[in-house]
Amino acid sequence: MAAVSALRAPSGGFSFDNCARNSLLEAELGQKGQRLPAARKTGTTIAGVVFKDGVVLGADTRATEGMVVADKNCSKIHYISSNIYCCGAGTAADTEMTTQLIASNLELHALSTGRLPRVVTANQMLKQMLFRYQGYIGAALVLGGVDVTGPHLYSIYPHGSTDKLPYVTMGSGSLAAMAVFEDKYKPDMEEEEAKQLVRDAIAAGIYNDLGSGSNIDICVISKNKLDFIRPYDVANRKGERYGRYKCERGTTAVLTENVAHLEIEVVDETVQTMDTS
């Protein structure tokens, strides 16, 4: 093992050792007119709505990396607990890791208290963690679920502020989705109405925002059941090819043919047995 002259034991967690080097590299590349590679963002439309018996969460499925689509069908609705799900917008890795961490913490907490976890607990854990990192963890979340106190829906911003509302949208397509919600939302909707409303809101985001696209995923959470419908609707379909573009042999006339033999001499032959046990 390599030994380093350190005076104290290393601690876990984030290490800031490379920050100075990174900023130097960025300055140098900036001089030459190049940029560091961008983190993969989800550039998203996510939305949630509270209906009569529960909560409907919806999300698109496109992940972008700068100006390129990195993932045409990524899953943005993350599992937090059996009765709580969370949609994530922002940096893809941050939302993924944050939701997994909070899911683990919530499971430990539920085992310790012996009760079904509440949505407000997940909300507190998320906002305390995001505030601790002062917005450097780029995760904007829509958290929804049903617990003993009823259905709840929260939106959580990267710096740690939260809102408890009957309908929320986040991500780059949030304005398009919010416009649909503001027009058509009614309190105490039925499940089918709520699903259609969320589908329309996400579709508005997909059609009007470059950062959102592909399919629409829906998650319906109510007291007795959980429906995770992926995909609920395929909004952007790739075009169908109408004809074959392969040319048959003989389309191009052969004028001359010249065959050159490669003289290969076997110099050495070894046989190695594979261990297929």
Partner 1 sequence: MESRGAASLLKDSIPITDFSLPGSFEGHGLRRGFPCVKNELVPSHPLELSEKNFQLNQDKTNFAMLRNIQGLHAPLKLQMELRAVKQAQRLPFLHSSNMALDTLRGNDECIGFEDILNDPSQSEVMGEPHMMMEYKLGLL
Q: Point out the residues that are catalytic.
A: 44
Angle between helical axes of 92-113 and 119-132 (0-180°, round to 10): 130
* CB closer to partner 1 out of 107 and 193: 107
By the criterion CB under 8 A, which residues form the site for partner 1?
A: 1-17, 19-21, 23-24, 27-28, 30-31, 101, 104-105, 108-109, 112, 132-134, 136
- Whether residue 47 contacts residue 57, with contact meaning beta carbons closer than 8 Å, is answered with yes
Nearer residue to partner 1 within complex by CB, 6 or 255: 6
Q: Could you tell me if 76 and 230 are in contact, meaning their C-beta atoms sit under 8 angstroms apart? A: no
Nearest approach in angstroms of CB 23 to partner 1 is 4
Distance CA 218, CA 195 (A): 8
Give the count of alpha carbons within 13 A of 250, CB side only: 1
Tell the smallest beta-carbon distance from residue 72 to partner 1 (Å): 29
First to last CA, the chain: 34
Shortest separation between residue 113's beta carbon and partner 1, angstroms: 10
Considering the complex, what minimum distance in angstroms separates the CB of residue 181 from partner 1? Answer: 35
Nearer to partner 1, 123 or 155 (CB): 123
Nearer to partner 1, 3 or 267 (CB): 3
Alpha helix (H) residue ranges in 76-190: 92-113, 119-132, 174-184
Tracing tokens 């958290």 back to the chain, one arrives at: 143
